[in-house]
Amino acid sequence: MQGLQRHLDRKTPCERKKAAVWRCGCRETFGRQDSLERHRKRACPLAAKQRDDEKRLHDLTRKVQSLEEQLKAARTTPVIQTFSAHNLSQTTIQTSITNHIHVNAWDGQDRLVVSLDLLKEVLRENSMLREYRELPEVNRYDPEFVSPYVLEALMAVIRRAHRLPDGRNIRQNPSRADQVQVLVREGGERWEILTLVDAVRLLFRDAARQMLHLANTSAALRELTPEERSATSLLPAEYRRRPEKYEREGKSRMAAHLADLGAGSAAAPGRRDPEVADRGGAPDRTEEADREARAAGPSRSAPELPA
């Protein structure tokens, strides 16, 4: 009792240390990390839903690796020797490269393929997402404060996925700015018309779903930092809370992205599209140019199409 009394009579009072707080993507909080991991394995609704998709994503990753191997095998470099009277050792090397690219169909399971390597590149190369990881915790959980970071994360993932040749299954409709053309194969390969609003909604939902799935995989625990895993969980989860807001604000940025993607590079493989063949593909929009599109604000809603 005397020791306790001396402790209470100290000039500087004691303060109870604050326990560490561990947060899950479903907004549950825990005092210990092992409690968080146990929650994710047994009770988290997000983790339970995402585990159902893990096998399919694994199959998609294997399919992407198989396509990359086919591209490497298609590249040949024959060496042809030509002889002349002056120099019999003269050698001419000719390179012949043939690429067989299978563009993923919009109406298939591979409309948008987001791998862990692609997600790591986005998180580590995008300046806004690097800035998000350094924000105080109170700001990272503020819906209004993180709103521009949510939109940037979704657009950055979509832009990087469309850099792959097999991901060019969407292009602008040259006749109307509020429409896009998507590559479908059911009933015969063709380009179909889709409103820009519907395209934004489908692409955003695919990107958010695959980001949330990757955040809870064992590979992400090994290869991503805690800050990167937090961003991979919190940003798409915030999109799912208010999807209409982000889809509305993302219309102008998606239109700018599709304009820079270039209609010519999205043509179906093995066939020359007369509408876009002579226009060529434009390079991807740089980060600085994309900031200008964000500064211009969301575009007005497109007029309803006649039935």
Per-residue pLDDT tens for 108-148?
Answer: 777 888 899 999 999 999 999 999 988 888 888 898 999 99
- Where do the structural domains in the chain lie, given as residue ranges? 102-295
Which pLDDT belongs to residue 148? 93
Cα dihedral 79→82→86→89 (10° resolution): 30
Taking only the tens of pLDDT, the chain with its 307 residues reads 777 778 777 777 766 655 567 777 777 787 778 887 888 777 788 777 777 777 778 888 888 888 888 887 776 544 444 444 444 444 444 444 445 667 888 887 778 888 999 999 999 999 999 999 888 888 888 989 999 999 999 999 999 999 888 888 888 888 888 999 988 988 888 899 999 999 999 999 999 999 999 988 888 888 989 999 889 999 999 999 999 999 999 999 999 999 888 744 534 343 334 333 333 333 444 455 455 555 555 443 333 433 3
Token reading at 219 = 């590979």
- pLDDT of 6-55, one tens digit each? 877 777 776 665 556 777 777 778 777 888 788 877 778 877 777 777 77
Q: In the chain, what percentage of residues exceed pLDDT 70?
A: 74
Predicted TM-score (pTM) above 0.75: no
